[in-house]
Amino acid sequence: MPGTFTHQFDSSFFKGNVAVNTGLFINGQWTDSVSKETIDIFNPVDGTVITKVAAANAEDVDIAVKAAKQAFKTSWGLKVPGHQRGRLLYKLADLVEKHQDAIAAVEALDAGKHFIHAKTQDIQDGIKNLRYYAGWADKNQGKTLETSEAKLAYTRHEPIGVVGLIVPWNFPFMIAIWKVAPALATGNAVVLKPSEVTPLSALLLAALVKEAGFPDGVFSVVPGYGAVAGQALAEHALVGKVSFTGSTFVGRKVMETAAKTNLKRVTLELGGKSPTIVFEDADLEQAVKWIVYGIFHHSGQMCAATSRIFVHEAVYDKFLELFTAAAQAVRQGDGFNEDADEGPLVSKAQLDRVLAYIETGKQEGARVVTGGARAGRAGYFVQPTIFADVRPDMRIVREEIFGPVGVVAKFSTEEEVLELANDTQYGLSSYAFTRDVSRAVRVANALEAGCAFINSSALLEPQVPFGGFKQSGHGKEMGEYALEAFTQVKAVHINVGIKL
């Protein structure tokens, strides 16, 4: 039988025991994986093993998908009115709010997040999204279409059936809710595969889904390796849709698998290398604060990070002075420490990846303004790093680093910087800092990205869609647009008077 991981938290932020079932959650029950294999879960602050969780394989995924299909047909989908699905989502939101400290604590423990950031940002975002989509559950209606008096034509927005949700390790709980909430609101049954690096909050969510009263089989959680459990979910013939957040490389594999199997629908939210433009009229102090948050928050492990920074030549030196001082003031440490602002990178693999990019930047001739090395010997910390005077052809400028590394270049004109900004395979987010309203609108419209933020870094809202252009993926998370990703439109034609 599956075990339970219990951890005693004793910090000024949170004191108490948190228990997490470490099995798979399938058909409303906790179970071992068929193979009995497990995955070690690490604390990125010191590299120690926290616990082990069950590792799902293709057989486990098959069991979960078949249970979801049966639940969809017999006790969910269109058999449950929208207002009842909404009531369950509201109850789940209340339970998440009740247990927000416990969820934030395990999120900080295995993802390396700061507890306060996890609680006040990620968990609160999840609660807002649950309530937002609870309100949509009985409002996702079609249209009656005028044809003639002899015919009635209308559309229905129907759930797809079983959907596979694959979420990353950087925002495990928040991104899971981005997908789970609209999927359940529209009547789909869900099989959730959290990252093998950070599965604990998803397992806590499963317990709350059970407590909220969702029918068995409607929601399952199958922790496992991406190449095994994720691949099995992407290729399963009974899965009608996969929503994936992660790297562009893996996103291509998910899409390829879907195409080769049953042509299941795919939503992809992938990598980014977001252009961040600081014009000469910007409020430099505010711009620096937002950019520091955008690139050093969660140690830069964000697809929408403000990582590729273009600064007007008139304010370039002053910006670098302020940016450097702010980077050097960032305090790293344990996410339960009051004296820390940010935690570590999530894993040894991520640490090695980021350090390799930093070495590449040095070899390519970029100037290290601050940082540029590992921080300490324990855990997976990298110094907040700034490269200046970078060229467009450098790898650190073109490729997603996913760490606390910002690259800064100089520009002269708006036309020049827009060319530089759009010279990328990615198109997730973009940023501009200016006091000129006309320029703000003009630049926002010209940037080739799914989101444009003016005078801030990424401030996301449940009612506003998030998603990318180009190789940053397709489809939208959040907002009314996300409902389209989890429904299919049926056109109904009723002949009431046409005779042959």
- The encoded tokens of residue 240 equal 């009608």
* 115 lies in some domain: yes
Q: Are residues 201 and 341 both part of a single domain?
A: no
Range of the domain at 436: 275-461
H or E segment to which residue 492 belongs? strand 487-495
Q: How many domains does the chain have?
A: 2
DSSP type of residue 119 = I
The Cα–Cα gap between 130 and 425 comes to 33
CATH number at residue 202: 3.40.605.10
Residues 248 and 376 in one domain: no
29-31 vs 24-26, strand pairing mode: antiparallel
Question: For residues 125 and 203, what is the distance between their CA atoms, to the nearest angstrom?
Answer: 18
pLDDT band at 2 (very low <50, low <70, confident <90, very high): confident
Average pLDDT value for residue range 313-325? 98
In a domain, 499, yes or no: no
Question: pLDDT above 90 covers what percent of the chain?
Answer: 99
What does the pLDDT look like over 368-424, one tens digit per residue?
A: 999 999 998 889 999 999 999 999 999 999 999 999 999 999 999 999 999 999 999
List the structure tokens of 233: 């979910």
> What pTM value is reported for the model?
0.96
Tens of pLDDT, residue by residue over 30-77, are: 999 999 999 999 999 999 999 999 999 999 999 999 999 999 999 999
* pLDDT for the residue 149: 94
Q: Which of 107, 303, 448, 477 is catalytic?
A: 303
Give yes or no: residues 207 and 83 share one domain.
yes
Q: Are residues 485 and 406 in the same domain?
A: no
Q: What is the pLDDT of residues 257-275, one digit of tens each?
A: 999 999 999 999 999 999 9
> What band does 1 get if pLDDT is binned at 50, 70 and 90?
low
Backbone phi, psi, residue 364, to 5°: -80, -5
198 and 294 inside one domain: no
Tokens 């709350």 belong to which residue?
208
Considering the domain architecture, whether residues 279 and 136 belong to the same structural domain is answered as no
User: Which one of 269, 400, 477, 484 is the catalytic residue?
Assistant: 269
Q: Is 390 found in the same domain as 305?
A: yes
Inside any domain, residue 500: no
pLDDT at 377: 81
Residues 447 and 483 in one domain: no
Q: Measuring CA to CA, how many Å separate 188 from each of 19, 31, 165?
A: 29, 23, 11
Res 378: pLDDT: 87
Looking at the fold, whether 57 and 139 belong to one and the same domain comes out as yes
Same structural domain for residues 130 and 250?
Answer: yes
Q: Tell me, yes or no, whether 466 lies in a domain.
A: no
Q: Are residues 280 and 167 both part of a single domain?
A: no
Q: How far out from the chain centre does Cα 218 lie?
A: 22
Residue 234 has pLDDT above 70, yes or no: yes
Q: Are residues 18 and 157 in the same domain?
A: yes
| pLDDT one-digit tens code per residue, 98-148 | 999 999 999 999 999 999 999 999 999 999 999 999 999 999 999 999 999
* Whole-number Cα distances in Å, 350 to 294, 299, 405, 451: 19, 11, 13, 26
143 vs 59: CA distance, rounded Å: 41
**pLDDT digits 0-9 by tens, 458-477:** 999 999 999 999 999 999 99
In-domain check, residue 193: yes
Tell me whether residue 372 is in a domain. yes
The whole-angstrom distance between residue 302's C-alpha and the CA centroid of its chain comes to 8
Q: Which of 170, 167, 171, 197 is nearest to 183 (CA)?
A: 167
Active-site residue, 269 included: yes
Q: What is the CATH number of the domain that holds 386?
A: 3.40.309.10
With tokens 């059936």, the residue in question is 161
